[in-house]
Structure 1
Amino acid sequence: MWLLLGLLLGVGAIVAANQLEGGSLLQLVNLPAALIVFGGTLGAVMVQTPPAILRRTGQLLSLSQRTPLSHDQGIQQLIHWCITAHRKGLVALEQEASSVEDRFVRNGLQLLADGKPVEAVRATLEVELITREQRDYQAARVLESMGGYAPTMGIIGAVLGLIQVMVRLDQPSQLGSGIATAFVATIYGIGVANLLLLPLAAKLRQMIDSRSLYHEMMMEGLLMIADGQGPKSVQLKLQGYLDTSDAAPTPS
């Protein structure tokens, strides 16, 4: 919703400014310009990007619209698992793992339930954390690349439009469409880059950083559980991952 509101505000400001200058909305609608900018940008990014990374970009865009992971809820889960492990043993965490949606955390719980040593658990989870983070940053860079290609495609559209103008200099009545394509393509290229693609890339980077911090916190908590530490120790050590206003009370 917030993304849509920001996009509407940006596009609305451009349309409103055009109206104030005496223009009309139809002047900004040009199919050839849209084909050049959007088709050219998509084609360029397909040339440079493997299909797996393109799919991951789509997955991240979907994830970015969900409610952010709650560090406070994560700590409460860790405390619950810590109490369970103290009462029933680490093997009881296998049943807990089956109900966890997050694959990283589920894998960590399964490693604990299998009785893996603390260092082995740490090594396994760190590899997964680093690998996923790198893959996600690659996916975010796809949008950054598109944000670089779009203005260039707009320039290509402008040049093509001017070519049409030069070809039709002896037909003054047909010059308008070529000039329109030239300038509208430039608007499309710069606009889609700066109002959509680059902001989305920044949003994905922020989400990746937040998810990595959350998973780092969960990994530390799981390692403390594997080390046999109690719920109070888990709570106190992980408080640093919370804002002061979000800090939950220390369990008794």
Structure 2
Amino acid sequence: MFKIGCHLSTSGGYLAMGKNAVSIDANVFQFFTRNPRGGAAKAIDEKDIAAFQALAKEHGISDLLAHAPYTLNACSDKAHIRQFARETMADDIRRMEYLPGNMYNFHPGAHMGQGMEAGIGMIAEILNEVLYPEQTTMVLLETMAGKGTEVGGRFEHLRAIIDKVMLSDKMGVCLDTCHIYDAGYDIAGDLDSVLAEFDRVIGLERLRAIHLNDSKNPFSSHKDRHETIGNGSLGVEVLKTVINHPRLKHLPFYLETPNELEGYGREIALLRGLYEE
């Protein structure tokens, strides 16, 4: 079964997100845990969650992917920013347990000149503080484009973080097609080799989700600018190969293209037509 969806607005709550997903033929979706620029999250509405769960069961919606705010930087050179990351991640994971068995994704962060090794250590330190044995939520490190002092532009960065996490069974990876192409992994020219490298460095069993995005920029640009499907440097044929690759096609795919709901609906219809059952 093709698991395809997009990023949805949380403004109306979980039930509203579920209805929007159904309206565009999505059976998975991603959402921000709170304002993407930071701040407090809305109070949990258990009635809304119960109504959503009933809708999800009726329509086969699964694999929810919560995305941490962009301002979260677990390896900042400023202690108060690291503390925000620590508190936000702990709160987000706790909130995700109201929807057990789903996923929470975050950008590893930028070390701000402290060095890659120091940044990796800080990220792992916070993960060791916020993860707990009873949680059902899988926490995903996202592959990044490697701009500036960003951590996560190489598979080795993510492996190094995971290796330092005590509860590493709670950790996985979200692969972003735009990010890794911009980082210098040639998924357009040799997807098989990129996946073989991922498997060697991290292990494909840790790959739990894919952000399916075209890129505004050329290969190895380290820019991180998403484009709508088919209008970027990756193109439709490359992304068709990604969704149909035997080592990937069972995974959930999430669109983060610059779109409104109607545009996401068109992209989902296009990709469903390209997917080979």
Question: Do they fold alike, i.e. is TM over 0.5?
Answer: no
Q: TM-score if structure 1 supplies the norm length?
A: 0.25
Bigger share in strand: 2
Q: TM-score if structure 2 supplies the norm length?
A: 0.23
> Greater RCO between the two (CA within 8 Å, min separation 6)?
1
The structure having more radius of gyration, on CA atoms, is 1
